[in-house]
Structure 1
Amino acid sequence: MKRSISCFIALSMLVASLPLSAQQKTNTPSKPKNTTVKSNAATTAGFVITGKISGLKEKTLVSLTDINNPTDTLAKAKVTAGAFTLKGKIAEPNLYQVNYHDAQKKSVLFIGNEQLSLKGDVVNVQEIKATGSKINDDFMDFQGTFNPLFKRLTELNAKVASNPSIDRNDSVMVAYTAQFTRIQSAIDKFLNDKKFSPVSAFMLVVTSELEQDFSVLEKRYASLEPSFKEGFYGKIAKQQIDEGKVGAIGSEAIAFTQNDTTGKPVTLASFKGKYVLIDFWASWCRPCRMENPNVVNAFNKFKDKNFTV
């Protein structure tokens, strides 16, 4: 199955609106943290989804598709007495959707090759309950934890953005900073609690833009299981980190060669060991030209301290 990062970008924007519909197992004791939890995905050759959904018309089509590539149909079945069975094989645990074609509704699942059941009413598709998938339960935990946090951060961000001159000690700014910190703590806790779940790699991708310190992102990425690093979301997480480090504060500058005013090629490497200010400007750019005297002043002030422009 081919997946595109552009499709995933749209997906990540929709995460907060996905249904919280998995049935909670209140009578099952919680498993110890940081221990491998075996699910049906490890013992089943393929997936089997059995559905009992009221409101579906007889003989109408139900299918399972890749949410990142909706044209990729993994299984399909006809409804008989409100029931259906979807069977197939998934390359790796990921987000998929069950499509109720006649009703033009769908259920979102994060599953692998597992046996699970769907039960509910197509009229209230977001209330359809999924049971039997440990991976999907982890995804529901992700939503239950982060949806409220994201919602509150979005509300506070709107207030901050509406006041460009807001002071860092303003109550709204203080609340925004505190909420941001809560999310960072929740990310680390989720990675620790769900270390052996493929949802952890998904979570890392969705939340990556909330952390600008790439040493933190690298540490989180390193905590993933090796197989998750090689999966769809693990590869995206690695790409995000690698691309984000280019030009980041504290990272090694990109090597380049540029001609000086006399046409002589000059390499950045030739300034190794010096403090170097690189100023990109154009002769036709008025703000750039207005800044030129400040650059000259900086050079004159620090040129005797191993500094150059």
Structure 2
Amino acid sequence: MRRLFFSCIATVALLPAFAQKKASITGKVPAALNNQKVYLYEGSGSFSKILDSAQITNGAFLLNYSITDTTQGMVSVRVLENNKAKSGYRIVVLTPSDKMKLTVNKAGEFNLFQNSTVSGSKLTAQFDALQKILKPINQQGDSIRKSIQKMMNKSEITDTTGYFALYSRYNELMQEQKELTNKFMLEHTDYYVSLMILREGMGRRVMDVPGTQAIFDKFPAAIRQSSLGQEAAELLKASALLGINQVAPDFSAATPEGQTMKLSDLRGKYVLLDFWASWCGPCRAENPHVVKAYQRFHDKNFDILGVSLDKPGAADKWTEAIQKDGLTWHHVSDLKFWSSDIAKLYMINSIPQNFLLNPDGKIIAVNLRGNALEEMLEKVIH
């Protein structure tokens, strides 16, 4: 079952400044984990770094760390048993002066630290309050994972109906988890952990700026003014520039023929600004829908500017995909992959993505997929 992680979160502060202090986590775990190495990470995923490590001796360990700001952390262990790797992890919220105690009386099946308790950390207690609410869903999810794993261990899955039924139920649980998490956040806007939930949900670009801003405004000033709060406010501000009724930022880039084209060259038309790439399977699958809309509305003051996020040196693959997919509209690219200046300007972190602009260059819709593009064009083009 997917556990709640606060990814994409920078180091944050509850107070304007902290003097660097020593903090610690004392651990008590089953003796079966003796001689294993336990790690303390700051952050999560690709944003994490090791703060300390220690060897488990007599069922105990001690981790020391020095930080200046409050941040997410994780205590982790990895065990190799009968050539099979098992891991344990425990999300904690670190502050510069906490003296935590982590206790694991019984190792969990999917997560060795699943049954752990933590004392000595007010903010981790907030996180645990949410986990208590999510526990029934997590338990159901673990049960489904166990059933799916049994099916996967067989050389051939014979009960495909049951297999997909399990995945469907798992997806339903994920949606329930999301709804309960959002409910917790809205009911506890005085919790710092709720700000962490909000920030994770914002991603790298906020799609619903007014709605997210309204939630953010409910947090106390002290939380909004924290480093994480300031980060959220800056992201909201930047995202608002790409919101509905905002003029799309202008840019210029090279066409496949080596000429320079600007977005504003198409001013006066309805324009679909389409971010894609030759290597992007979902983009290529979406292209037939875009072609259909283009053929239907091109003679009615509608045009398209495709912005490719192809890799350096991949101009041939870019132009080959244009020809193969029948993309007979305007195209530009700086061939910088995810480092594309245009992608950064539009806060693009996944593709396909698109923006529909009116003749004044204002954004009137975003991420129109499938038949949604044609349906929107039917409404605005008469």
TM-score (norm: length of structure 2): 0.45
Matching residue within 192, 197, 206 for 1:198:
192
Matching residue within 112, 117, 142 for 2:94:
112
1:111 Cα deviation after fit: 1.8
Return the alpha-carbon distance in structure 2 between the equivalents of residues 58 and 149 of structure 1.
Answer: 31
- Percentage identity across aligned positions? 16
SS across alignment from 1:127: coil
- RMSD over equivalenced CA pairs, Å: 5.0
**Partner of 1:130 in structure 2?**
118
Indicate conservation of the 8 Å contact 2:270/2:301, yes or no: no
Change (3 A) 1:194 1:146: farther
Indicate conservation of the 8 Å contact 2:189/2:220, yes or no: no
Does 1:141 pair with 2:129?
yes
SS across alignment from 1:84: strand
Indicate conservation of the 8 Å contact 1:277/1:308, yes or no: no
Return the alpha-carbon distance in structure 1 between the equivalents of residues 186 and 214 of structure 2.
Answer: 11
**Partner of 1:100 in structure 2?**
77
C-alpha distance after superposition, 1:75-101 (max 9, x if no partner): 222323211221222333333222234
Q: Which moved more, 1:90-99 or 1:141-150?
A: 141-150
Return the alpha-carbon distance in structure 2 between the equivalents of residues 136 and 86 of structure 1.
Answer: 16
Q: Which runs of 5+ in 2 are unaligned?
A: 7-13, 81-85, 141-171, 254-260, 275-289, 303-358, 360-379
Matching residue within 43, 50, 54 for 2:30:
54
TM-score (norm: length of structure 1): 0.54
Does 1:85 pair with 2:73?
no
C-alpha distance after superposition, 1:1-49 (max 9, x if no partner): xxxxxxxxxxxx954489xxxxxxxxxxxxxxxxxxx9xxx99933221
After the TM superposition, which residues 152-191 of structure 1 pair with which residues of structure 2 at under 5 Å, given as runs? 183=179, 187=182, 190-191=185-186
1:289 Cα deviation after fit: 3.8
**Partner of 1:278 in structure 2?**
270
1:106 counterpart letter in structure 2: G
Return the alpha-carbon distance in structure 1 between the equivalents of residues 3 and 227 of structure 2.
Answer: 17
Matching residue within 236, 244, 257 for 1:241:
236
Q: Which moved more, 1:128-137 or 1:286-295?
A: 286-295
Does 1:214 pair with 2:206?
no
Q: Which runs of 5+ in 1 are unaligned?
A: 1-12, 19-37, 153-175, 259-264, 300-306
Indicate conservation of the 8 Å contact 1:55/1:123, yes or no: no
Change (3 A) 1:54 1:191: same
SS across alignment from 2:28: strand
**Partner of 2:339 in structure 1?**
none
Return the alpha-carbon distance in structure 1 between the equivalents of residues 38 and 132 of structure 2.
Answer: 27
Return the alpha-carbon distance in structure 2 between the equivalents of residues 241 and 139 of structure 1.
Answer: 24
